[in-house]
Amino acid sequence: MTIPTRSVHCLAPRRRRERLFAAALLFPCFAFVAVFAFYPIIHSLYLSLYRIILGLPGLSQPFVYLENYRQLWGDAVARHALANTFLFVAVSTTCEMLLGLAMALVINRSFRGRGLIRAAVLIPWAIPTVVASQMWRFINNDHYGLLNFLLYGSDLASYQAWLADPTFAMAAVVVADIWKTSAFAALIILAGLQTIPDELYEAARLDGATAWQRFTRITLPLIKPALLIALLFRTMDAFRVFDLVFVMTQGGPADATNVLQFYGYKKMFAEGLLGYGATISVLVFLIILALSLVYVRFLGREIMEERP
Amino acid sequence: MKARLRRLLFLLSVALIAAFSILPFLWFIATSLKTQMEITAIPPTLLPSFSLDFYRSALDDYHLLHYLKNSVIVAGAATAGTIGISLFAGYALARIPLRHKPLIMGSLLLVAMFPQISIAGPVWQILAALGWLNSYQGLILPYITLSLPLGVWIMTGFFRELPQELEDAARVDGCGHLQTLFRIIIPLAAPGVFTAAILVFIYAWNEFFFALLIMTQRPYQTLPVGIALFQGQYTIPWGEIAAASTIATIPLVLLVLLFQRRIVRGLSAGAIKG
């Protein structure tokens, strides 16, 4: 009999205790993210206002206000890298979404050995990007790469140094990325496909809908959230492409494959221009922030609609 | 007739997908088992002679074991750390009524998304100030941070699916929050923990950007850095690179073959359920 009254009394302190408990549980996570992610982002903003050169500790580190930004604005290589990055993101993400959708549609059918195919598809995704990069660099090799042999057979005179050609080098990096990450898009889309009940297709078939109609009227609308999520993740991931470029081309030839993340890395750690590098960091962060806000607006609505 | 044609087309597309996914890497594995003569031969040798010379050379001349050891230490510790922290955070986010939950989840997502370059400089400075460049902890701490979003998202999703009744029953029996967490929830969360652990391990095993910045001296470099920087005296040592690549990939292929269901579910869980 006394229990109900006690619980009423305890309600407020219990809620406070609960909140404290939650804070304690979240603290380690928060601490890591604050120190190694949020602080660095803010500190980059600060660094971008100074001229700091690594490895020259005797040199003063003067406050230069927006000088770095003015320099970045007129930096032709940076502009090139920005254009390259957007080109890479647009082409690779589009191809990966289309290929991923096709792969998901095939794997979603039930057939013998489906588990094995699914594992096979996952392998490029699991391979370290550095390994995939070396592999594609070897395939594109000018003397004994597989690509040259497949195209020209034993006619050694026609063999091309693909990675030394500005257009082909970019294409080679894009192909490597598509190979590596289409599976990721496929898996996210597959998860979306599997939430569609078979009865819907049955009913549509009874109503005389063609395969194409079933695809455009049932499949596509129902996997739209999955498609958007795959697109979001792939865009963001393509935006920070680095490993492929570092291993396959070092940004070359003639900056044809130089992308923002690689350019920032080079300025900061190869040339030691920490202040100028931080300016690139800020630019990259702002682009990503803007992109993700746009996506979240779309995605947020899509996911909310899905919820009961 | 039409049904059979369609079936044939379907099998063809399955075969194409499989070939696209595994043939390029099989070619690289074959390369690692060739001799130098076979690698440079035109037309290329399809079947390697299964020579282990490049493996021997990778181990002896290129310190492969060394990189392997560093990768195991860094990826193992990062996985353990991430899982421990995201277990608690995931429980709090799934089970305790809190304000600003969407904000917390959203900012974690942002951490998972932004390019590494946007934090690289200051992270490098922090580690340099602590004297932790070229140290295991210097790489493990950023890895934990960057894989926390993945871990927390998976754990939160997993905890949400556990029936609330279990906890209520424990509460009625007089268990506090902490006791409920350790006695009831964590044992039940084992499958979720395992899924998250596989994904975080794969991330840490494969990460290259921070490993390259932080581990500038060979004694601490991990496999991806080693493989990216393999350099012969005059030529690119393709055979050794292929051998090291094969060794770096074997653990991942095993994980994929054994746990593909779990990996697929883990990858899509956070994403689809939001």
Separation in Å, CA of B4 to nearest CA in chain A: 15
CB pairs under 8 A between A and B: 286
- B118 and B46 in a single domain? The answer is no
Q: Do A44 and B122 touch (CB under 8 A)?
A: yes
Assess if residue B5 is contained within a domain: no
Give the chain A residue whose CA is nearest to the CA of B262: A119
| A166 and A69 assigned to the same domain | no
Q: What's this model's pTM, rounded to 2 decimal places?
A: 0.91
Closest partner residue to B88 among A28, A264, A278, by Cβ?
A28
The CATH number given to whatever domain includes residue B68 is 1.10.3720.10
Residue A68 inside a domain? The answer is yes
Number of structural domains, chain A?
Answer: 2
Residues of B in contact with A47 (CB under 8 A): 121-122
Same structural domain, A100 and A145: yes
Of the residues B46, B82, B118, the best mutation for testing chain A's interface (the one with the most A CB atoms within 10 Å of its CB) is: B118
Q: Does A259 touch chain B (CB under 8 A)?
A: no
Same domain, A233 and A176: yes
| Residue B9 lies inside a defined structural domain of this protein | no
B102 with B125, same domain: the answer is yes
| Claim to verify: residue A58 and residue A183 sit in the same structural domain | no
Closest CB from A115, A128, A191 relative to B272: A191
The residue-averaged pLDDT of B98-109 equals: 84
- Judge whether B95 lies within some domain: yes
Distances (CA, A) of A155 to A28, A103, B32, B194: 61, 35, 25, 52
Tell whether A88 is covered by a domain.
Answer: yes
Q: Are residues A64 and A183 in the same domain?
A: no
Domain membership of residue A298 (yes or no) is: no
A249 and A109 share one domain: yes
Within this chain, do residues B126 and B236 fall inside the same structural domain, yes or no?
yes
Please indicate, yes or no, whether residues A168 and A118 belong to a single structural domain of this protein: yes
What mean pLDDT is predicted for residues A282-298? Answer: 86
Q: CB-CB: which of B106, B119, B261 is closest to A41?
A: B119
- B6 is a domain residue: no
N-term to C-term CA, chain A: 39
Q: Do A123 and B177 touch (CB under 8 A)?
A: no
Q: Is A151 domain-assigned?
A: yes
Residues A49 and A174 in one domain: no
Show residues of chain A in contact with B268, CB under 8 Å. 187-188, 190-192, 226
- pLDDT tens digits, B224-264: 999 999 887 778 899 999 999 999 999 999 998 898 888 88
Q: Domain check: are B89 and B109 in the same one?
A: yes
Nearest CB among B242, B249, B272 relative to A127 is that of B249
Which of B203, B123, B138, B235 has the alpha carbon at shortest distance from A127? B203
Do A65 and A105 share a domain, yes or no?
no
Count of CB atoms situated within 10 Å of the CB of B85? 26
Q: Are residues A88 and A48 in the same domain?
A: no
Answer whether residue A93 is part of any domain: yes
Work out the average pLDDT over B142-149.
94
Instruction: Check which CATH number belongs to the domain holding A146 and give it.
Output: 1.10.3720.10
Please indicate, yes or no, if residue A307 is contained in any of the structural domains: no
In a domain, B179, yes or no: yes
Cα–Cα distance, B202 to B205 (Å, whole number):
5
Pick the residue of A26, A95, A303 with the most B CBs within 10 A to test the interface with B by mutation: A26
User: Are the beta carbons of A187 and B267 separated by less than 8 Å?
Assistant: yes
pLDDT for B269 equals: 64
Q: What is the mean pLDDT of chain A?
A: 87
- Measured distance CA(B97)–CA(A21) in Å, rounded: 11
- Please judge whether B126 and A289 are an interchain contact, meaning their C-beta atoms are less than 8 angstroms apart: no
Distances (CA, A) of B13 to A104, B7, B173, B251, B260: 12, 10, 57, 28, 21
Q: Is B13 inside any structural domain? A: no
Question: Has residue A17 been placed in a domain?
Answer: no
Alpha-carbon distance A171 to nearest alpha carbon in chain B (angstroms): 17
Q: pLDDT (tens digit, 9 = 90+) per residue, A18-60? A: 888 888 999 999 999 999 999 999 999 999 998 888 876 667 7
The answer to the question of residue B10 being in a domain is no
Selecting from A149, A229, A236 the residue whose C-beta is nearest the C-beta of B44 gives A149
Per mean pLDDT, which of A140-149, A254-263, B154-163, B175-184 is the most reliable?
A254-263
The parent domain of residue A213 ranges over 83-271
Domain count, chain B: 2
Q: Which tens digits make up the pLDDT trace of A97-151?
A: 999 999 999 988 888 888 888 889 999 999 999 999 999 999 999 888 889 888 8
Residue B23, number of CB atoms within 10 A of its CB? 11
pLDDT band at A301 (very low <50, low <70, confident <90, very high): low
Structural domain contains residue A4: no
Q: Cis omega before residue A253 (within 30°)?
A: yes
Residues B155 and B220 in one domain: yes
Asked if the Cβ–Cβ distance from A40 to B272 is below 8 Å, we say no
Same domain for B100 and B130, yes or no, is: yes
Q: B-chain residues within 8 Å CB-CB of A16?
A: none
Is A136 within 8 Å of chain B by CB? yes
Q: What is the C-alpha to C-alpha distance for residues B102 and B115, in angstroms, rounded to an integer?
A: 22
Same domain assignment for residues B38 and B155: no
Is the same domain home to A165 and A241?
yes
Is the domain of A104 the same as that of A184? yes
- Is B161 in the same domain as B229? yes
Q: Identify which of B118, B141, B253 has the shortest CB distance to residue A285.
A: B118
Q: Which domain holds residue B32?
A: 20-51
